[in-house]
Structure 1
Amino acid sequence: MATIRFYGDLKQYGTKFKLNADTAAEALNGLYLQIKGLRQNIMNGYFRVRINGHDMTEDSLKFGMHTKLTEDAVIHLVPQVAGAKSGIFSVIVGAVLVVVGAMTSWVGGGVLMAAGIGLMVNGMTMMLTKLPTTNSTDESTSKNTSFSSLDNTIAQGAPVPLCYGTMKIGSKVLSQGLETI
């Protein structure tokens, strides 16, 4: 019995699956057949694979995927961290400030060194962090429901129904407020 655990973006398909499979490749193929879009998502991503507590490298992955699994084996698929590579300017300016601060003998040298170290850490963080992407091209999907309230809401400019007689209809909130204290 093999347990496959998904992390990160793959959690949309589920977090834990138990399959009766002999190899990791057989277990993943079983999931590919049952879950629509999983194969494409894994092929488009960059994942860290861990089988029975052993991290797989690119060289050992082909061999590791076809090795017979032990009893109660666990396979982890974790998204690999990738950076944006845009903070090099902060690192360079930070290094210059550290050098200038170390070379000066006045009191402000410590301040320059602290600012330089801060800029270097900021630049390294920017290089290691991937910027999130947003799909802002489709305006119809950006409906604001005031922090996901349960009230029915209506967009600006939509017609307001005018009913005569006794009707059973849903509500359309015309005005809604939020007050924080």
Structure 2
Amino acid sequence: MAKIRLYGDLKQYGDKFNMNVETAAEALNGLYCQIKGLKKQIMNGFFRVRINGVDMNEGNLQFGLHSRIPQNAVIHIVPKTEGAKGGAFSFIAGAVMFVVGAIFYWTPMGYPLMATGVGLMIGGVAMMLTKLPKTEKLADGGTNKNTSFSNLDNTIAQGAPVPLCYGLTKIGSKVLSQGLETIDG
């Protein structure tokens, strides 16, 4: 018996499944046969797969999917977070600031310029290493289904990347989930 858990935009197909299977590949094939559109959704996305507490990567995914799983194993399929591309400008600007700060190190502006330059370079490298998110195009062409700035409730569409903020920030919210419950008392 294996427990399959789907997260993110895959939850539209269900989130918990119990199947009597011997391998994770057999479990996924069983779900593909029973749930229309699930295979296409998984093939078009980027997901993190965790089988019985072990994260699968490109090196061990094939082996992990086809090896025998223990009784009551849990298989998690979670969407990977994605971000923006481009960071070369940030990296170059950071390098220039670092060099200028190093030249004027003995002045009051030298060390802050160097520190800011290092921060920009690290941010630029992080942006260059992050995969671009795929945006859906509408049939009429050109516009996507981005609701970040057009919705009065400031909600975010399902499957979109969630920004992470560190330190003290003053920003608007992105409502991830909301609900209303009335109780007759």
TM-score past 0.5 threshold:
yes
Secondary structure class of the residue paired with 1:41: helix
The yes-or-no answer on 1:130 pairing with 2:143 is no
Q: CA deviation at 1:38?
A: 0.4
Corresponding residue of 1:106: 107
Identify the range of structure 1 (82-91 vs 17-26) with the bigger mean alpha-carbon deviation. Answer: 82-91
Secondary structure class of the residue paired with 2:74: strand
How far apart in 1 are the matches of 2:20 and 2:80? 27
Corresponding residue of 2:118: 117
1:29–1:137: structure 2 CA closer, same or farther, 3 Å change rule?
closer
How far apart in 1 are the matches of 2:39 and 2:46? 13
Q: Which amino acid aligns with 2:45?
A: G
How far apart in 1 are the matches of 2:90 and 2:151? 39
How far apart in 2 are the matches of 1:34 and 1:112? 59
What do the CA deviations read for 1:110-130 (whole angstroms, capped 9, x no partner)?
A: 231233234224424433263
How does the TM-score come out when normalised to structure 1?
0.65
Q: Percent identity?
A: 56
What do the CA deviations read for 1:29-51 (whole angstroms, capped 9, x no partner)?
A: 11111211001111222322221
How far apart in 2 are the matches of 1:11 and 1:126? 29
Q: CA deviation at 1:137?
A: 5.8
Which has the higher Rg, Structure 1 or Structure 2? 1
How far apart in 2 are the matches of 1:95 and 1:79? 34
Cα RMSD of the aligned pairs, angstroms, is 3.0
Q: CA deviation at 1:55?
A: 2.1
Residues matched between the structures, number: 146
Contact 2:91 2:123 in 1 (8 A): yes
Q: Which amino acid aligns with 2:8?
A: G
Q: CA deviation at 1:3?
A: 0.8
Q: CA deviation at 1:82?
A: 4.8
Listed as ranges, the gaps of 5+ residues in structure 1 are 148-181
1:132–1:44: structure 2 CA closer, same or farther, 3 Å change rule?
closer
Secondary structure class of the residue paired with 1:28: helix
Listed as ranges, the gaps of 5+ residues in structure 2 are 154-185
Q: CA deviation at 1:26?
A: 1.4
Q: Which amino acid aligns with 1:32?
A: Y
Q: CA deviation at 1:81?
A: 4.3
Identify the range of structure 1 (30-39 vs 8-17) with the bigger mean alpha-carbon deviation. Answer: 8-17
Secondary structure class of the residue paired with 1:55: strand
